[in-house]
Amino acid sequence: MGTLLKTMMALGLVVTTTQVLAHGDVAPQPVDTAALPDLDDEWPEENPYRDADGEVYAKAIEIGASGYNQNCARCHGLEVVSGGLAPDLRYLSADWEGDEWYVERFVNGYSQNGVTKMPAFGELLGGKAAWAIRSYVETRPDDGALDEFADRLGEIRDDLDKKAQAVEDGSDMADFETELASLREELDEIAKQVPSGSGAEMADSPASRAVAMLDGSPESLTKATETLTVGLSAAE
């Protein structure tokens, strides 16, 4: 190897291939959308999975979260909170107008003076992945959306943790089911009040996730406790 090249490498001046590709040109990562219903029309006017109480919406959000993290987060930010590199997608309105613009960018990407600023994803990922990611993006909670509920959610978390412990120890749990039902109801009430950034009717928050997993089984108590712990620390 020539001395010049060695020196340049030592100084970190040789840009490796991965670095060159690290931005606009990374190949889209496939998204497994098998669990979602097929679409007659891949690019309808509005998000076909948008349905505030639906199981399909919940599934779309879950699949969309992983699709987003693999394909969009590096530019649009983790949890869809933009670091300034690309627009903050949380505020794209959850209606046909927001959807139209979403599809336009998703399908075509964006180039400026021949430079790809955002790759086109439409053909490679398809409509199901697009709308799953859209469902995830539009249900992000607004900035500070958890603030007013954080104290109470923390208490509920502690309570669930104690119950999980009691189940494990085989303690007496006379009122277990009633108490759990009322915690679940309260979590559900909170989940419904957490506002999304996009105006979508529901926000995918630690509260809504905890409700969805709380089926009363010991594992579900532990999982809901963890979900609230992680969600609350991220919101701080």
Q: Which residues bind ligand HEC (CB under 6 A)?
A: 23-24, 71-72, 74-76, 86-87, 89, 92, 101-102, 105-106, 110, 117-118, 121, 133
Q: Smallest distance from the beta carbon of 43 to ligand HEC, in angstroms?
A: 14
State which residue, 116 or 182, has the beta carbon closest to ligand HEC. 116
Q: List CB contacts of 53: < 8 A, sequence separation 6 or more.
A: 202
State which residue, 129 or 212, has the beta carbon closest to ligand HEC. 129
State which residue, 64 or 206, has the beta carbon closest to ligand HEC. 64
First to last CA, the chain: 51
Contact in structure between 189 and 125 (CB atoms under 8 Å): no
State which residue, 116 or 217, has the beta carbon closest to ligand HEC. 116
State which residue, 10 or 27, has the beta carbon closest to ligand HEC. 27
Q: Which two tokens stand for residue 51?
A: 């349905």
Q: Smallest distance from the beta carbon of 105 to ligand HEC, in angstroms?
A: 4
Q: List CB contacts of 232: < 8 A, sequence separation 6 or more.
A: 146, 150, 153, 154, 157, 206
Q: Smallest distance from the beta carbon of 132 to ligand HEC, in angstroms?
A: 10
Q: Smallest distance from the beta carbon of 62 to ligand HEC, in angstroms?
A: 16
Angle at 28 between CA 37 and CA 101, to 5 degrees: 65
Q: Smallest distance from the beta carbon of 150 to ligand HEC, in angstroms?
A: 29
Contact in structure between 114 and 164 (CB atoms under 8 Å): no
